[in-house]
Amino acid sequence: MTPEIDAKVRASFARQTMMTTLGAELLDLGKGTARIAAPILPGSRQQQDAGHAALTFAIGDSAAGYAALTLFEPDDEIMTVEMKINLLRPAVGDRLIAEGRVIKPGARITVVQADVFAETDGVRKQVAILQGTMIPVTQSPQ
Stretch that binds a second copy, among 20-28, 29-37, 93-101, 116-124 (CB under 8 A): 20-28
Interaction of residue 46 with a second copy, rule CB under 8 A: yes
Kind and range of the H or E element at 71?
none
**Cα(72)–Cα(51) distance, rounded to whole angstroms?**
32
The CA-based dihedral angle spanning residues 113, 114, 115, 119, taken in that order and rounded to the nearest 10 degrees: 170
- The DSSP code for 16 is -
Interaction of residue 101 with a second copy, rule CB under 8 A: no
- Of the candidates 15, 75, 121, 122, which one interacts with a second copy according to CB under 8 A? 15
**Cα(130)–Cα(55) distance, rounded to whole angstroms?**
13
- Of the candidates 57, 72, 114, 116, which one interacts with a second copy according to CB under 8 A? 57
Shorter beta-carbon distance to a second copy: residue 27 or 81: 81
Residue 12 exposure: Cα atoms within 13 Å on the Cβ side:
20
* Single-letter residue type at 58: A
Interaction of residue 88 with a second copy, rule CB under 8 A: yes
- Of the candidates 42, 75, 121, 122, which one interacts with a second copy according to CB under 8 A? 42
Angle CA 24–67–59, to nearest 5: 25
Interaction of residue 47 with a second copy, rule CB under 8 A: yes
- Enumerate binding residues for a second copy (CB under 8 A): 12-13, 15-18, 20-22, 42-49, 52-55, 57-58, 61-62, 77, 79-90, 103-104, 108-109, 111, 113, 126, 129, 131-133, 135, 140-142
